[in-house]
Structure 1
Amino acid sequence: MERRHVAVVTGANRGLGRAVAKALAERGYRVVGTVRDPATGAAMRDRFAADGLSFDAVAVDVTAPDAGARLAAAVPEGLDVLVNNAAVTFDGFDLGVVDRTLAANWYGAAAVVEALLPALREGGRVVNVSSGMADEASLPAALRAHFHDAAPERAGIDALVSAFRDGVAASGEPPEGWPRSAYRVSKLALNAFTRHVARAVADDPRGLRVNAVCPGWCRTGMGGPAAPRSVAQGTASILWGTEVPVGGPSGGFFRDGRAAQW
């Protein structure tokens, strides 16, 4: 019997995460998705099942210390695709916003990847859902260089993120040269982490592919009704990353299947 493909999608309860989960299920995947509310997960499972699709919910916040372990336990057979989609954004700028944003978009996202990497099967793909706001070109040259220099080591990325957070804690404002956006910093860190992980698994015999993708500004609950792109367009951009073949690009940042500006 042919082995069934398995995908894990974080933040699967709404918006792009939900659309990606459904699209993968329609392609025959057993999809495991994170939701915050057990009732939401049960309702999604029932709706998917009514359409003949497979969906299992794990009710966990990606900021929880055991989130990665619980996801790994939900796929004892291993997985083929991880779509690291869960993220938050908040209005305003203060230390509370910075801490909540980094907890989900950086620390939680990185922890999920690290927990599930050992469970990826041959040809497995990791898709980190990033943002066009992670464009490094507009950063001061010194800061841009730091993000590239940090990419080979997780500790270096953590140090950069901590420097940003500590600056806000000390003065209420980011250190000189840093963007005044915790969301943007979290996605800059995620892109650097994507490069780090891709390099770390470059010689792995499983042929893993690790990429960041930008879905664009989409009309979701997070993006709002004024966004120029549809959910379908954003979903397609993410799904491209789930189909990168063995030997295909790894460690890159892509939008609609094309290399995006770092």
Structure 2
Amino acid sequence: MSSYSRIAAVTGGNKGIGLACVRQLALQYPRSSFNNGPLLIYLTARNKERGEKALQEILEDAQLKEAKALCKDGGLSDVRYLPLDIDSQDSIQQFASHIKQEHPEGIDILINNASVAMDGFNAEVVKKTLHCNYYGTLEATKLLLPHIRDGGRVVNVASVAGLIDSRYSGPIRKRFLNATKTEEITALMEEFTTAVEKNEYEANWPGAAYKVSKAGVIGMTKTIAADNARTGSKTLINSCHPGYVNTDMTKGRGHKTPDEGAQTPVLLALSDIKGSNGEYWSNEKIAAWEG
């Protein structure tokens, strides 16, 4: 049994929005309705050196020290590094096994932030992008959801790029928006991949791997949340757009800081969101998925 009252995990936590989510969880947890004692946050990254460097950055963070947010300074939060590469099924399974072994009582918060944005557009880019952003996020959610304590939170960081807009054909739009099973969303990801391989995508799909991958994340979040609610679970599962954030992924072009980008994911993790489940959020409120 863990000595912590709450356990959280953030994927892709070594930089950008993920690292900011770790910081903001530590800063905001004491004032949140989720606070019922000490919080342990797992900062995850696929690269050990970068993960441990990010952890050291958190431990030396001036704002966290001033707020006395960390246990070492008299606060409520501890942060630890764990390896996790959501592009690897083995890594996801090892991470899930570690979490279940260390915390048999369950964990409370999972923020799936890790993703990639690749240059160019071809079949290989589509496969690699979907493998990480869609299938990796789906696998992490499926493996860890049964281990999240009732009333916990799952937050899948998506993007405004994932809106279902006019770049999709009418039938494809309808299938996304009306899907009730995760398998239906996965089938759409498979069809997109095949269409690009055959160079037959233009009539139905946008020529953007990242866009389709994030539409998949929003769609499967909606279906998994509905399935989970049918079991009677009070765990809330939502997706969100963090905003256009100044990170490596946006090549420094974003207008939000990483801390500003972390606000919506952390709100979904810690705040009273009035039972919101399976929704897509942007700018700290529920937004329309259909663009």
Scaled by the length of structure 1, the TM-score of the pair is: 0.91
CA-CA distance at 1:244 after TM superposition = 4.5
Output the CA distance in 2 between the equivalents of 1:38 and 1:226.
27
The residue identity in structure 2 corresponding to 1:5 is R
5+ residue gaps, structure 2, are 30-37, 66-71
Q: Tell me which residue corresponds to 1:143.
A: 172
Output the CA distance in 2 between the equivalents of 1:206 and 1:99.
34
CA-CA distance at 1:22 after TM superposition = 1.9
CA-CA distance at 1:148 after TM superposition = 2.2
CA-CA distance at 1:241 after TM superposition = 1.0
Q: Does 1:25 align with 2:26?
A: yes
Output the CA distance in 2 between the equivalents of 1:209 and 1:155.
20
CA-CA distance at 1:238 after TM superposition = 1.4
SS of the equivalent of 1:125 reads strand
Output the CA distance in 2 between the equivalents of 1:245 and 1:23.
16
CA-CA distance at 1:5 after TM superposition = 1.1
Output the CA distance in 2 between the equivalents of 1:185 and 1:136.
9
Q: 1:248 to 1:153 in 2, by over 3 A?
A: same
SS of the equivalent of 2:245 reads coil
The residue identity in structure 2 corresponding to 1:256 is N
CA-CA distance at 1:97 after TM superposition = 0.8
Output the CA distance in 1 between the equivalents of 2:126 and 2:245.
23
Q: 1:73 to 1:246 in 2, by over 3 A?
A: farther
Residue 19 of structure 1 contacts residue 231 of structure 1 at CA under 8 Å; is this kept in 2? yes
Q: Tell me which residue corresponds to 2:275.
A: 248
Q: Tell me which residue corresponds to 1:162.
A: 190
Output the CA distance in 2 between the equivalents of 1:115 and 1:19.
24
Q: Tell me which residue corresponds to 1:68.
A: 92
Output the CA distance in 2 between the equivalents of 1:188 and 1:92.
18
The residue identity in structure 2 corresponding to 1:142 is P
RMSD of the TM alignment (CA)?
2.0
SS of the equivalent of 2:262 reads helix
- For residues 200-219 of structure 1, give each alpha carbon's deviation from its aligned partner in whole angstroms, at most 9, with x where no partner exists: 11134441101011111111
CA-CA distance at 1:21 after TM superposition = 1.2
- 1:3-82 equivalences under 5 Å are 3-26=4-27, 27=29, 29-50=39-60, 52=72, 53-76=77-100, 77=103, 78-82=106-110
Q: 1:107 to 1:19 in 2, by over 3 A?
A: same
User: Which sits farther off after the overlay, 195-204 or 181-190?
Assistant: 195-204
SS of the equivalent of 1:136 reads coil
Scaled by the length of structure 2, the TM-score of the pair is: 0.83
The residue identity in structure 1 corresponding to 2:169 is P
The residue identity in structure 2 corresponding to 1:7 is A
Output the CA distance in 2 between the equivalents of 1:181 and 1:232.
27
Percent sequence identity over aligned pairs: 29
Q: How many residues align?
A: 260
